[in-house]
Amino acid sequence: MNYDFDTIVIGGGPAGSSAAIRTRWIRTYNSIPASVAIFDENGIGGIANWKELRITGESWKVKGSQLMEKMKKDIENLHIPVYKEEVINIRKKNDFFIINTNKREYCSLSIVIATGLSLIKNHKEFLGKGLIPTLKDHEYMKNYLSKTLKKDKGKNFLIIGTKPVKKFYNLFQKVNRDSVKTILLIENKKTRIVSFVKSKKELNGVKIKTRSDSKQYEFQTIKTDKVILDFESYMLENNSTYFLSNKFKKKGFVTVNNSLSTSESGLFAAGDVIGPPFCVAKAIGDGIKAGFEAYKYTFIKKFGIEPPMYAFYPSKSEIYDKKTGYCIDIITDNHKPKLLDPNIDIQISKKLLDGKHTIKQILKKNSIDSKTLQKILISLTNEKRITFHI
């Protein structure tokens, strides 16, 4: 069966970006890279783009946008495709995962879920312009609201969160005392906030989509002057994994073991989506580990042995060719080369290096001998520009 990528990463924040980069690029000199793609309808960054991120403490903090720009650079340099598509559902079929998006169907050997806490578009654009996130605890918000609501008397407030948002809503109403008009909107599997809507430069509404029993989405816009996004509710019950079966999660958070693997082999998760603590350093670390584990899983599936990953992991076996120094000796004529860098010039038709033609088929369709082809494949492997599908 032909498939699209060795690994598909769902989510383009710090965890997802780290996972994709580390799956695609294993620095070990004699390793074979993997094909990987990122799926995130909002693109790369997530809420990491907002403000400053503290890696450990005040002496080590960076702007979220700067951190994500560095990751974007690696993603671009490694030619990792980013699909701005919504993942609708995933399922396992034999040894492959089938991923359905709002545009088409994809197939992979493994998946890393790194959807974070929230999938709402364009958060950053409205910070301080009508959007109020509860980035501090409810006691702080109580004092903040008592001052803010007096200034906004008579305006419309929309409070957003998952089911536990009711706790904040009750607190809000105690402070409010009818100063402002309020609407409570609870995100769940059938109701999702798509994006914030603006009039001129200010926020004036929220676009939502509701999924009917027929699995068709209906869109509508709720007008409002201010939006309060209750982050604590998302920390208690995640809604970013709506596409995933309940057997893999608890209160929306994906359940994983020490290898960040779920109960389904080949399905991994990383970052905020697996639960607290919620911080960027953990998200990046989780992403790296999940990327490595996905890489190992797919390598074993493709070649039947564990990959060389020194010095990330101790060497378990000497599996590479003594003359070439690469794992080329484990590749058979039935493996399907997939070019990872579309910009290079080679003497083979790039159309045949699509992960769907076997080496045997390539030799038949090109006037090239097996030794020359092997030399080209070794060179491309050395440069981390090619992988091999099954």
* pLDDT for res 9: 98
Q: pLDDT tens digits, the chain, 390 residues: what are they?
A: 899 999 999 999 999 999 999 999 988 877 899 999 999 988 898 777 777 888 888 888 888 788 999 999 999 999 999 999 999 999 999 999 999 999 999 999 999 999 998 777 777 788 888 899 887 888 888 888 888 888 889 999 999 999 999 999 999 999 998 889 999 999 998 898 888 998 877 888 999 999 876 567 889 999 999 999 999 999 999 999 999 999 999 999 999 999 999 999 999 999 999 999 999 999 999 999 999 999 999 999 999 988 888 889 887 655 555 555 555 568 899 999 999 999 998 888 899 999 999 999 999 888 788 889 988 998 998 899 999 999
Domains of the chain, with CATH numbers?
Answer: 5-117+239-303 (3.50.50.60), 124-233 (3.50.50), 331-389 (no CATH)
Question: What residue type is assigned to position 282 of the chain?
Answer: K
206-243 burial, b if ≥16 CB within 10 A, otherwise e? bbbeebeeeeebeeeebebbbbbbbbbbbbbbbbbbbb
Helix residue ranges per DSSP H, 213-311: 231-236, 280-303
| Predicted pLDDT at 366 | 80
Query: Is the bond into 307 cis (omega within 30 degrees of 0)?
Result: no
Q: Which two tokens stand for residue 284?
A: 């990046």
Q: What is the pLDDT of residues 43-77, one digit of tens each?
A: 898 777 777 888 888 888 888 788 999 999 999 99
End-to-end CA distance of the chain: 8
Bridge partner residues of 197 (DSSP): 205
Interatomic CA distance for residues 122 and 39, integer angstroms? 17
Q: How far is the C-alpha of 109 from the C-alpha of 37, rounded, in Å? A: 12
Report the DSSP beta bridge partners of residue 37.
Answer: 8
Contacts of 276 (CB under 8 A, 6+ apart): 235
Cis amide prior to 14 (ω within 30 degrees): no
What predicted TM-score, i.e. pTM, was given to this entire model?
0.93
Tokens of 348: 């083979």
Q: Give percent of the chain above pLDDT 90.
A: 62
Three-state DSSP at 74 gives: helix
User: Do the beta carbons of residue 340 and residue 24 sit within 8 Å?
Assistant: yes
Contact 60, 129 (CB under 8 A): no
Please tell me the distance from the alpha carbon of residue 68 to that of residue 152, in angstroms, as a whole number.
35
pLDDT in tens, 341-377: 999 988 888 999 999 999 999 998 887 888 899 889 9
On whether the CB atoms of residues 44 and 17 are closer than 8 A, the answer is yes
Strands (E), the chain: 5-10, 36-39, 52-54, 61-63, 82-83, 87-93, 96-101, 105-113, 131-133, 156-161, 181-186, 191-199, 202-211, 217-223, 226-229, 249-250, 253-254, 267-269, 336-339, 386-389
d(CA 318, CA 25): 20
The pLDDT score that the predictor gives to residue 317 is 57
Centre a 10 Å sphere on the Cβ of residue 373 and count the other Cβ atoms it contains: 17
Residue 144 structure tokens: 């903040």
Which single residue is written with the structure tokens 């080209």? 376
Q: Are strands 267-269 and 105-113 parallel, antiparallel or unpaired?
A: parallel
pLDDT at 245: 95
